[in-house]
Structure 1
């Protein structure tokens, strides 16, 4: 019995050690990260630059524009696989902690989309003056909410030569309603429950339009019996940005724009997004890629609601979670733009 226990212990040790070695190997991304400080007119932002190594030419640059929420520079390392692909194909990347997150000053909830546009443009000029890059090959990558920032930056900033829009919405109000309905359907809610939620949502939207912000917010909390999950800061942020729509900016775009969406997205109505981009962006400049098995974050559908086994695999090898078609598309884009 002692020999059997000893043998099992040895086998378990070998298996655990092998898993640890495998996990360390697969979690190691071939990227060279450098922390930087970006001083803008409003804040001091903590940023991360990922620079290609051993290149005979100056690299291009892709600026990353976050979606909604309190995002740090690497999106909790969620950008690493994209940065790795871009670095391998001749592009450096620049991203930063949102204002008030990590080491950045300010408060992202005080920002309008116009503020985010200005911040991005200032970061581009910081990069031009502080990084050893090819200024003729600067692109902007924007995800989700960043999709409202990206087209305006493309139109206003001459240094930008192309854009990559990942899972962007077009109209804030339409996107919010779609997300509400799609999420509830996924949870198995009845039509009656969904209709009730939409009615409540419409009542909240009316309150958001009232001039007296604090008074309207108090009404919201009364309506929710003081259990409303929207903070006053978030309320103000929504109120500031709820009427944004990117359609008019699309019509002005005169640079190459790559649109990437996922067929499993319940945050954004991707068919509506594809239609809006196709109707309003010059077809000669637009490239659309729909990945049927990817969700809003480009995660493969089998990992969206993952069990314990898949979760362990995802931790050991985070690359398997991301749709390979997304990374292949980034590789194609970077190779194309590098040759221009």
Structure 2
């Protein structure tokens, strides 16, 4: 080999130390990932029988050495949600555990291999499911049956009071809860149009389409009739989704909220919510509950509907990186602390 092509010792040292530095960085990043995704709680998969089916669940308990714990039962929002909400619930479960509370959640029917189809469910079906889960967990020796409460987000606003009417609950954490299906739908439509700076013509067309859909629902129209009315363009609507909407479009929690009177309620509201009219939600909760201090309201001005920081939620890249490197930082400042404190003060 010609001398000028022989790697010198200095060159070898540079290559070796570059490799060492790269390995250190990779090992450090791997360590950060492990640490960020290690939660101070015990998790176990559980099976709950309900209505001839099995609910595939996760029960999380604190590592505090106590024999029995209170429990937070999770009621999902809309969509095909699994028991952990793609790991998104875990920071909340950890906060619950730090307050001395266990957490229980389960896959929606048809999600993550669970039997059934969540789109076949009414809000009453979902409440029956949650009540069955509470009955199952009350029989466990490691759960204090007198300290079982509910956590629910968005669509769960129609489920939480139904559950409380079926079985005693000792508290409720309502996160961006919906009140009236049709009002919420119209609010969401207009909010998204405003956010998109939609033209007047586009806004009028969207409202007309929404009005047509309402009329079809009131006439109990079939999915085929819906597609025909939309000019043959289903625009993402499926037969299952149309059936789900047809079952639930009359949902309204206004009267049913009375089931929560006297129950400590933490009402959590996002300042940048385009899904739920938080002013209407707060007003309705105050009028229905009026419990002399039993309700606590927490507002997060910079939070989106899901109580994530809006600055993060706007970017898929930011959501992915934050979920990977610092999942607890996804949520609005104070959100986890407030839930932890609420549970401690019960």
Give the alignment's TM-score, normalised by structure 2: 0.90
Counterpart of 2:149 in structure 1 is 139
Contact 2:156 2:178 in 1 (8 A): no
Contact 1:29 1:80 in 2 (8 A): yes
Residue 266 of structure 1 and its aligned partner are, at CA, apart by 1.3
Distance 2:318 2:312 in 1: 10
1:281 paired residue among 276, 289, 292: 289
Counterpart of 2:218 in structure 1 is 209
Instruction: Please say which of residues 30-39 and 128-137 is displaced more in the overlay.
Output: 128-137
2:27 paired residue among 17, 25, 33: 17
Residue 309 of structure 1 and its aligned partner are, at CA, apart by 5.9
Tell me, yes or no, if structure 1 residue 237 matches structure 2 residue 240: no
Residue 147 of structure 1 and its aligned partner are, at CA, apart by 1.0
3-state SS in 1 of match to 2:58:
strand
Distance 2:267 2:156 in 1: 13
Contact 1:43 1:104 in 2 (8 A): no
Contact 2:57 2:83 in 1 (8 A): yes
Cα 1:212/1:313, change in 2 over 3 Å: closer
Q: Deviations over 1:107-160 (max 9, x none)?
A: 1111110111111111100111235211110101111101110012123312x1
Distance 2:66 2:136 in 1: 23
Contact 1:251 1:282 in 2 (8 A): no
Cα 1:326/1:190, change in 2 over 3 Å: same
Counterpart of 1:306 in structure 2 is 315
Counterpart of 2:300 in structure 1 is 291
Q: For structure 2, which runs of at least 5 residues remain unmatched after alignment?
A: 1-9
Contact 2:312 2:330 in 1 (8 A): yes
Q: Deviations over 1:75-94 (max 9, x none)?
A: 11110000001012111111
User: How many residues in Structure 1 have an aligned counterpart in Structure 2?
Assistant: 334
Q: Deviations over 1:193-233 (max 9, x none)?
A: 2221111111112112223424423424xx24334311001
1:102 paired residue among 106, 112, 116: 112
Cα 1:87/1:177, change in 2 over 3 Å: same
Tell me, yes or no, if structure 1 residue 266 matches structure 2 residue 274: yes
Give the alignment's TM-score, normalised by structure 1: 0.92
Q: For structure 1, which runs of at least 5 residues remain unmatched after alignment?
A: none
Cα 1:131/1:172, change in 2 over 3 Å: farther
Distance 1:10 1:310 in 2: 31
Counterpart of 1:128 in structure 2 is 138
